[in-house]
Structures are given as structure tokens and as C-alpha cells.
Amino acid sequence: MPSTGPDAASARFTDTLLELGFSQYESRCYVGLLSPGPQTGYAVSKATGVPQPKVYEALRKLVSRGAARQLPGEPVRFAAVPPQRLLKDLESSFDRRLDAAREASEKLDVGPEPPMQEPVARLGGHDDVVAAAAGALAAATRRVYLSATSAELEKLREPVTAAAERGVDVVILHFGKAPFPARGLRMFRHASTDGAVYRHHQSRHIALVADSKETIFGLAADGRVWSGIRTGSEPIIAAVKGYIRHDIDMQQVFDDFGAELTKAYGPGLHRLESYRAERGQAAADGELVAAEEERDSAQTG
């Protein structure tokens, strides 16, 4: 049990003086001077353990600070200014200096405050992205949104399963066949692009949001070279969460109205993407869709 007696109180007060800018020797000498009656430097040194060659230097600094008084006569003796008066004087002195600093700062030519930089860590490759996603899953306590291709989900099987067993609400959107059972998980298959092959379908990704506090996004646009980020930035978290949730919403709609949507927009709902294509590419992709539709019609005709 910590001591609560006079020695402990003296030690605490000495620590506070250190925080107020007093040196170790000055603090100890001041507390030593609080004993009844004026004291010589020798007596202060003996009571506080401050080396005698240093004690007079510390006492003179206390006098210059207004924390102690040197009394006339021989031998030279010193007396402490009462603590409450000392602290009041220190407060007044600090307020004066603070006011002076504030007045001087108003005359400075200061540019606009720079925008706050959100910490964003770069992830350099596939293993870094998977490790970051596994770490976020291990730290999650409430809910995780996870979107990934089947190969990447397989690599996250253990941390996903462990999170679910801890009671974390794990919501997964998977591209391709589910690599593991959905026990304790809420899993949605990205079915709207089944049976359609386009250039961008070679890409692989992991997108994860953990407890709305952290997001990991990794992408291999060509299916081979990965890069990614890990961040606690609220705008980026909101964007990635919105991306995953919107994709899940779309797949639920497709589950109910897939035939009608495919008829209206083609295999893989490709015609929904026509506004994204560069000039010339839209026509080329359109020809691919038309060819697939013609093939399917011939097979079923």
C-alpha cells in the first residue's frame, strides 16, 4: 500500500515543483526550507541530501525565483515563501507570460491551417494485404464487412472463423464459389456476373471494414501484382463500407429478379457498365455480349 504520511506528501509536492520548471535540487531545497524556522545551507543540505557544494547554488536560485528569502546576519540563513503564496505568484507570472505570448502571436503572419492528414499505411503486396486483413479480423469485436474473391477468402478462413466464434457479426460477399461453410457467417455470392467474362474479371481483391474503425483494401487489377492500403480514415472507411453494402444489396435484388435483369441488361448485366467504357471499347464489349446472346439463343432454339 502506498505511503500517505508527511514524507509521501513532501515527495508529491517535490514532483509537482519539477513539473513547474524547478530543478531537482531546487525542489528538494524548497521543501526542506518548509521546516519551522530559517535554516542555514548546511542544515538544508543535511535535511534534504542535496550535496553541500550544490545547496547554496540551489538556494540562491530559489531566492531569485521569489520562492525563498535570504535573511540578514551571520551565518546566512534562508526561509521559504509559504507554498500558497508561491503558487499564486507562479500563476500570476504564467498568466502574464501567456498573455504576452498570445498578443505577440496575433501579430504573426500565419498561413491557413493545413488540412489534417489521415494516416494511411501502404501495403506492398499480396501477403501484406492478407496479413493486414487477418489482423483486423483478429481485433474486431462487433461487425466485419468483407468482400473478396474465393482464393483470398480461403486464405482468411481461420481468422474469419475465429471472429465468428467470438460473436463478431461477419458479413461476407464472395466472388466465385464459397471456399468454406457459412456456419455463423452471413455470406452472399456475387452471382450477377456469373457466366460473363470481361477483361476486368481477371482482377482480385480484398475489401474489409472492421468495427467501422479500420479498413483494408487490396487490389490486383491484373490478377498478379497487388497493392493496398490500411487506414482508420473515416471517409475511406465509409466509402469501402458503402461499396461492399451496395454490392450485397445488388446481389439480393439479383437473387429475386435475375432473369428479368439479365433480359434487360444482358449477361452479367453488362449494359449497366456501358457508361464506364472508353469510346470504342463499349462497342467492342457490346459485340461480345451480342455474340454470347446469339450463342445462347442458338443453343436453346
* pLDDT of 176: 87
Strand partners, 263: none
- Residue 206, helix vs strand vs coil: strand
* pLDDT of 269: 77
Going along the chain, which residue ranges are E strands?
39-40, 68-71, 77-80, 120-123, 143-149, 169-175, 186-189, 204-210, 214-220, 227-231
| Report for 35-39, 107-111, 116-120, 191-195: range of highest mean pLDDT | 35-39
Backbone CA torsion sign across 187, 190, 191, 194 = negative
Rounded distance between C-alpha atoms, residue 71 and residue 117, angstroms: 58
For domain 120-278, the question of CATH label 3.40.50.11810 is answered with no
* pLDDT of 194: 67
6-99 and 120-278 in the same fold: no
- Record the cell numbers describing residue 114, joined without a space: 493545413
Unique residue bearing C-alpha cell 513547474: 20
Tens digit of each residue's pLDDT (9 = 90 or more) over 234-289: 999 999 999 999 999 999 998 999 889 888 888 777 777 776 666 555 444 555 44
Rounded distance between C-alpha atoms, residue 68 and residue 17, angstroms: 14
* pLDDT of 37: 87
* pLDDT of 2: 45
Rounded distance between C-alpha atoms, residue 28 and residue 42, angstroms: 14
**Looking at the domain that runs over 6-99, which CATH code has it been given?**
1.10.10.10
Single-letter code of the amino acid located at 299? Q
Instruction: Please give the model's pTM, rounded to 2 decimal places.
Output: 0.56
Unique residue bearing C-alpha cell 505568484: 89
Rounded distance between C-alpha atoms, residue 274 and residue 164, angstroms: 39
* pLDDT of 197: 45
Average pLDDT over residues 187-200: 69
Tens digit of each residue's pLDDT (9 = 90 or more) over 22-31: 999 999 999 9
Give the number of residues written for the chain: 301
Contacts of 80 (CB under 8 A, 6+ apart): 30, 33, 34, 62, 67, 68, 86
Four-point Cα dihedral 176, 182, 186, 187, nearest 10: 10
Rounded distance between C-alpha atoms, residue 173 and residue 180, angstroms: 13
- Residue 141, helix vs strand vs coil: coil
Rounded distance between C-alpha atoms, residue 100 and residue 113, angstroms: 22
Strand partners, 208: 146, 216
Spans of all domains in the chain: 6-99, 120-278
